[in-house]
Amino acid sequence: MDIFYPVFGVVIAISLGIIVLTVFFTGIGYFKRRTASFDVVKLKRFIKDGRIVNVHLSSGRIFSGVKFVGFTDQSSTKGGIPFSLSQMVVCETAKGARIFFRAEAVRVIEEVDMSPNTALEPTPTAP
12 and 59 in a single domain? The answer is no
Residues 28 and 90 in one domain: no
Q: Are residues 31 and 45 in the same domain?
A: no
| 15-46 residue pLDDT tens | 999 999 999 999 998 887 777 665 655 566 66
27 and 52 fall within a common domain: no
Query: Do 48 and 101 fall into the same domain?
Result: yes
pTM confidence score? 0.52
Are 71 and 93 in a shared domain? yes
Q: How many domains does the chain have?
A: 2
Nearest CA among 39, 87, 98 for reference residue 63 = 98
Find the domain containing 21 and state its range: 1-35
Per-residue pLDDT of 64-119, as tens digits, reads 888 888 777 666 555 556 666 677 888 888 888 988 888 888 888 888 876 555 45
* Residue 126 included in any domain: no
